[in-house]
Amino acid sequence: MELKYYLLYKPFDVLSQFTKEIPTHRTLKDCYDFPSDIYPVGRLDRDSEGLLILTNDNHLKHRVLDPTFKHQRTYLVQVENIPTPDAIQQLRDGVSFRIKKKEYRSRPAKAILLAVPPTFPERTPPIRVRQNIPTAWIELSLTEGKNRQVRRMCAAVGFPVLRLVRTQIEALSLGELDVGGVLEMDKQVIYDQLGLKTKSRS
């Protein structure tokens, strides 16, 4: 079997899967004509954007998705209002939220309030904006990936998420990809940027 590796800049309102749940859904099939044995490594929610890896390499999938390996994922997050220093510190220390009716506390994370907003293309449709409420951007780096975790963490400290873009997994980044763009990657390059060893080198 020939191993294939792709990076996708997943657009807003696209499911991280190849099957529709209702007829109006957009899926990964609408982004690119991927080979039939290619699947996403993890997922981004329908209302989230950014970096998604797709491959038929099961070893890579396991290493990236197994939480014991603590691969770092970086997100740029637009929130309502201006987060306080205390809120940013709470994100760094870990916050509690509920998943499936159980209390969960996040691992320590890297969180920075950005002084200058990032220059992403305008989202389609645009985010909901209330004229009397300012917005801000946070860079948040996690080593875990619970369901809708970034949104839950920001809500827990009082700052609802308006837009969420995953920009990086370890050293692997969106780079020059446009929204909806796809880049086929060399195995050695993607393994190196993810901090992995190929089987032939292990």
Report pLDDT digits (tens) over 164-174: 999 999 999 99
Pair 165, 88 in one domain: yes
- Residue of 30, 33, 37, 45 with catalytic role: 45
Q: Which domain holds residue 157?
A: 72-169
Pair 29, 116 in one domain: no
CA 201/CA 30 separation, integer angstroms: 36
Of all residues in the chain, the percent with pLDDT exceeding 90 is: 87
Q: What is the pLDDT of residue 199?
A: 66
Pair 110, 42 in one domain: no
CA-wise closest residue to 138 among 73, 82, 95, 94: 82
Pair 82, 157 in one domain: yes
Q: What is the pLDDT of residue 200?
A: 53
Pair 161, 76 in one domain: yes
The answer to pTM > 0.85 is yes
pLDDT in tens, 77-131: 999 999 999 999 999 999 999 998 899 999 999 999 999 999 999 998 898 877 7
Pair 84, 151 in one domain: yes
Pair 76, 165 in one domain: yes
Pair 36, 86 in one domain: no
Tally the domains of the chain: 2
Cβ-Cβ contacts under 8 Å for 8 (sequence gap 6 or more): 28, 31, 32, 51, 52, 53, 54, 177, 180, 181, 182
Cβ-Cβ contacts under 8 Å for 148 (sequence gap 6 or more): 45
Residue 192 is among the residues annotated as catalytic for this protein: no
Q: What is the pLDDT of residue 202?
A: 38
Pair 187, 133 in one domain: no
Pair 105, 151 in one domain: yes
Pair 31, 87 in one domain: no
Helix axis angle, 149-156 to 85-93, nearest 10°? 130
Pair 163, 191 in one domain: no
Please confirm whether the linkage preceding 125 is cis (ω < 30° from 0): yes
Burial 71-102 (b: 16+ CB within 10 A, else e): bebbbbbbbbeebeeebbebbeeebebeeeee
Confidence of residue 149 (pLDDT cuts 50, 70, 90): very high
Encoded amino acid at 3, one letter: L
Q: What is the CATH number of the domain that holds 53?
A: 3.30.70.580
